Amino acid sequence: MTSRRVLYRGAEAEIQLTDHMERPAVQKKRIKKTYRIKQIDDRLIAARTKEEAKLIAEARMHGVSVPIIYDIDIEQGIITMEYLNGKRVKDIFNSLTQEGRRKLCEHIGESIARLHNHDIIHGDITTSNMILLDDRVHFIDFGLGEKNGELEAKGVDLHVLMEAIASTHSRYACCFNYVLDGYKNELHDDAAAVVKKIEEIVKRGRYR
Amino acid sequence: MVTTTFLLYVSFLPACSMICLGIEGTAHSIGIGIIDDQQGTCTIRSNLIKIYRPEKGGIHPREAANHHALHLADILKASLQQAKVRSSEIDLIAFSRGPGLGPCLRTAATAARALSLSLEKPLIGVNHCVAHLEIGRGTIPECTDPVLLYTSGANTQVIAFAEGRYRVFGETLDIGIGNCLDKFGRSQDMEFPCGPKIEQLARQGTQYFDLPYSIKGMDVAFSGLLTAAEHYARQKRRIEDICYSIQETAFAALTEVTERAMAHTEKHEVLLGGGVASNARLQGMVETMATERGARFFVPAKNLCVDNGAMIAWLGVLMHKSGVRMSIKESIIDQRFRTDMVEVTWRD
């Protein structure tokens, strides 16, 4: 590994540009948080690194676009993976045509359904965690993900995206319905039950 | 003679000064604050609070409302006295329109309407959660565009200004953090509010017990943590250690979602608000997080963090100055008044 450049410093991890076997790669390194005690920090970093790598590998097996994993170091909290030189969906979402946005949302919904078909919960589906590259939406940051087959988990997973679109792209909040269209097309189980769950989760929030 | 005094008084006041009386009554506290707006800075003339403390159990809404009604007149008198303001000098009456407990909200609103009618001064109802944020901006000059971590009994929200409104980026999916602390405290026969007692015990804690650390996106959940903590208590583990573990786990989760919201919104200021914001450990964690991000950390004075009338008055001024007007008929309370329902007319 030669030169390193910090591509992005998120809340939880630092993404560094590096190379792996002469290929451009990124390293996601979870930053130790001194605000929390070591017991909690170590537990979270190890568990999230391990879980994230597992989920990314599994998502790829089921046909969802994700970066290829090259290497992991659980104790140090480092995942080395393929560098996706694309655009964050967050940055392009508002500037698309309405038709483009509809197609993109349907595509996102289909991918989420493929994850959910195999009980993969992303845990943080926001437009910042999607990278558009070669006309495909790649999902990154499975750091809060888990394997969970419950309706509740799937509902919450989609609800996070619904809120993210409503807060970050408030003018296009209704586009979440296109996400649901794509989701319905691809989901093996009955999508109506998941949609009902989302409605229930919305009502559960404070003052709804 | 009278005219001379009047003219002298006015000449002493700076331009655009406005005196507002705010009544807070969303839950357990009834508060009256009188503030002075001097070219966009909030000066607090008085800010009195009386808290209803149930003998046993949680807040009974009707009893809390009775408590508020009983003490309103006295607090009003004391507030005016402390502020050295005559009732005729008040320019605006503000009150907490919601969210909160119906009977409490109605008591505060009724008092505000009566004052407005008898003094013939405009009335304005404000959102309680937004008031928690605005009082930070109003009293701390360096605090301009913060992410607010608002932690109280009923509310736990991460709020920031985006696209014309105060939007909730993260919130609790089940119970507020204060409620979580109170419920645990009550199960251990502590008095309401239990937060300060838990904080005190936690300082003597040394051993950490694993507790659920529940984050979904930028949302948090505390009911699992509460159940697990109560389970440890039933096992007769050391109470100091349990309190320590609760604080370390719950506050770390809150700090983490706040940091996520800061990264997501690309903001470089963090502000605390709500009763739990007085907790030194929570303050310490959020401050450490902010420092490591190169962000600025702010926490208002303690009596401005808890539910209080001054913050209601200040938001009332901001809204009034931006042209918002409310008739008595429109001043109906809203128990489910969400933060993002407020059209922010006073900010660009």
State whether ipTM is beyond 0.90: no
Sheet holding B29-38, edge to edge: B41-51, B29-38, B18-24, B92-98, B123-127
**What does the pLDDT read at residue A204?**
77
For residue A139, list its beta bridge partners.
A130
| Both structure tokens of B250 | 């719950």
Q: Are B171 and A156 inside 8 Å of each other by CB?
A: no
Q: For the CA atoms of B247, B249, B254, B255, what is the dihedral angle to 10 degrees? A: 90
Residue of A nearest to B160 (CA): A167
Determine phi and psi for B49, rounding to 5 degrees: -135, 140
H or E, element range at B72: helix B61-83
CA distance B266 to chain A (A): 10
Q: Is B18 in contact with B295 (CB distance < 8 Å)?
A: no
- Whether residue B98 contacts residue B334, with contact meaning beta carbons closer than 8 Å, is answered with yes
**Whole-number Å distance between alpha carbons of B48 and A55:** 54
Domains: count for chain A: 2
Tokens 């170091």 -> residue:
A73
B99 cis-preceded (ω within 30 degrees of 0): yes
Separation CA A184–CA B1 (nearest Å)? 80
Q: Contacts of residue B212 in chain A, CB cutoff 8 Å?
A: none
Distance CA B324, CA B341 (A): 15
Q: Which residues of A belong to the active site?
A: 124
Picking from A33, A54, A82, the residue at the C-terminal end of a domain is A82
Task: Compute the average pLDDT of residues B174-198.
Answer: 95
Same domain (yes/no): A109, A164: yes
Cβ neighbours of residue A117 under 8 Å, at least 6 residues apart?
A62, A186, A187, A188, A189
- Section B175-201 average pLDDT: 95
Q: Tell me which residues of chain B have a C-beta less than 8 Å from any C-beta of chain A.
A: 98-99, 154-155, 157, 162-163, 165, 167-169, 171-174, 208, 210, 213, 215-219, 248-249, 252, 255-256, 259-260, 262-264, 284-286, 288-289, 292, 335-338
Residues with pLDDT less than 50, chain A: 1
List of residues 6+ apart from A194 with CB closer than 8 A: A116, A151, A154, A155, A158, A183, A187
Give per-residue pLDDT as tens, B80-130: 999 999 999 999 999 999 999 999 999 999 999 999 999 999 999 999 999
Burial B231-266 (b: 16+ CB within 10 A, else e): ebbeeeebbbbbbbbbbbbbbbbbbbbbbbbbbbbe
The secondary structure of A67-88 as a DSSP string is: PPEEEEETTTTEEEEE---SEE
CB contacts of A163 in chain B (<8 Å) are 217
Please say if the pLDDT value at position B189 is more than 70: yes
What is the reported pLDDT for A52? 94
Q: Given an 8 Å threshold on Cβ–Cβ distance, is A160 in contact with B217?
A: yes
Contacts of B336 in chain A (CB under 8 A): 207-208
Cβ of B338 within 8 Å of Cβ of A34? The answer is no
Q: Which residues of B are less than 8 Å from A171 in CB distance?
A: 163
**CATH classification of the domain holding A95:** 1.10.510.10
Asked if A177 and A145 sit in the same domain, the reply is yes
- DSSP 3-state assignment of A205? coil
Q: How far is CA B240 from CA B1, B196, B208, B248, in A?
A: 67, 13, 10, 12
Note whether B216 contacts A171, CB cutoff 8 Å.
no
Asked which of A39, A58, A82 is the last residue of a domain, the reply is: A82
Q: What is the percent of chain B where pLDDT is above 70?
A: 95
pLDDT at B12: 52
B99 vs A208: CB contact, 8 Å cut-off? Answer: no
CATH number of the domain that residue A78 is part of: 3.30.200.20
Report the residue of chain B nearest A164, measured CA to CA: B169
Under a CB-based contact definition with an 8 Å cutoff, are residues A59 and A120 in contact?
yes
3-state class (DSSP) for residue A42: helix
Instruction: Spell out which chain A residues touch chain B, with contact meaning CB-CB distance below 8 angstroms.
Output: 9-12, 33-37, 39-40, 43-44, 123-126, 128, 144, 156, 160, 163-164, 167-168, 170-171, 201, 204-208
Q: State the Cα–Cα distance between residues A160 and A198, nearest whole angstrom.
A: 10
Phi-psi region of A146 (alpha: psi -120 to 50; beta: other; left: phi over 0): beta
Task: Report the pLDDT value the prediction gives residue B15, as an integer from 0 to 100.
Answer: 53
d(CA A172, CA A180): 14
* Contact between A35 and B173 using a beta-carbon 8 Å cutoff: no
Query: What is the location of CATH 3.30.420.40 in chain B?
Result: 15-134+307-341, 145-299
What backbone torsions phi and psi does residue B236 show, to the nearest 5 degrees?
Answer: 60, 35
Question: Quick check: B263 and A36 CB within 8 A?
Answer: no
Q: In this structure, what DSSP letter does residue B40 have?
A: T
Residue B79, pLDDT above cutoff 90: yes
**pLDDT at residue B3 greater than cutoff 60:** no
Q: Give strand ranges (E) for B52-182.
A: 92-98, 123-127, 147-151, 156-162, 165-171
User: In terms of Cα–Cα distance, which of B98, B118, B124, B108 is closest to B325?
Assistant: B124
Choices 2.30.42.10, 3.40.50.970, 3.30.420.40, 2.40.50.140: CATH for B145-299? 3.30.420.40
| Residue A75: C-alpha distances to residues A34, A41, A191 (Å) | 17, 11, 39
Nearest CA of chain B to the CA of A143: how many Å? 10
The whole-angstrom distance between B255's CA and the closest CA on chain A is 8
Are both A122 and A71 inside the same structural domain? Answer: no
Are A69 and A103 in the same domain? no
**Res. B298: pLDDT tops 80:** yes
The superfamily CATH assigns to domain B15-134+307-341 is ATPase, nucleotide binding domain (3.30.420.40)
Q: How far apart (Å, rounded) are the C-alpha atoms in residues B91 and B72?
A: 20
Judged by CB atoms closer than 8 Å, whether chains meet at A207 and B210 is answered as no
Q: Which residues contact A23 (CB under 8 A, 6 or more apart)?
A: A70, A82, A83
CA distance A188 to chain B (A): 24
* pLDDT value, residue A5: 81
Phi first, then psi: give them for residue B143, nearest 5 degrees: -85, 105
Mean pLDDT over each residue of chain B, to the nearest integer = 93
* Domain endpoint, select from A82, A114, A131: A82
Token code pair at residue B108: 């505060």
pLDDT of res. B301:
95
Q: Buried b vs exposed e over B120-136: b needs ≥16 C-beta within 10 Å?
A: ebbbbbbbbbbbbbbbb
Residues A58 and A157 in one domain: no
Query: Rounded distance, CA B67 to CA B60, Å?
Result: 10
Q: Are residues A107 and A64 in the same domain?
A: no
User: Do A97 and A170 belong to one domain?
Assistant: yes
Give the model's pLDDT for residue A170: 87
pLDDT in tens, B43-70: 999 999 999 998 888 889 999 999 999 9
Q: State whether A101 and A129 are in the same domain.
A: yes
Calculate the alpha carbon distances from B256 to A177, B213, B277, B282, B339 in Å.
30, 11, 15, 12, 21
Residue A36 CB partners (closer than 8 Å, separation 6+): A44, B248, B252, B255, B256, B285
Alpha-carbon span B201 to B245, nearest angstrom: 11
Query: So what's the pLDDT on residue B5?
Result: 47
**Which helix (H) or strand (E) segment is B107 a member of?**
helix B102-119
- Is the domain of A68 the same as that of A93? no
Q: Print the domain residue range for A123.
A: 87-204
Residue B13 is classified by DSSP as S
Asked if the Cβ–Cβ distance from B217 to A126 is below 8 Å, we say yes
User: What SS3 class is residue B192?
Assistant: coil
Q: Dig out the tokens for A79 from the structure.
A: 């995942």
Minimum distance, in Å, between the CA of residue B6 and any CA atom of chain A = 47
Taking phi first (over 0 means left), then psi (-120 to 50 degrees means alpha), and beta for anything else, what does residue B159 get?
A: beta
3-state secondary structure labels for all residues of B125-161: EEEHHHHHHHHHHHHCCCCCCCEEEEECCCCEEEEEE
E strand or H helix at B271, and its extent?
A: strand B269-273
Instruction: Tell me: do A78 and A177 sit in the same domain.
Output: no
CA distances from B162 to B97, B309, B323 (A): 23, 26, 21
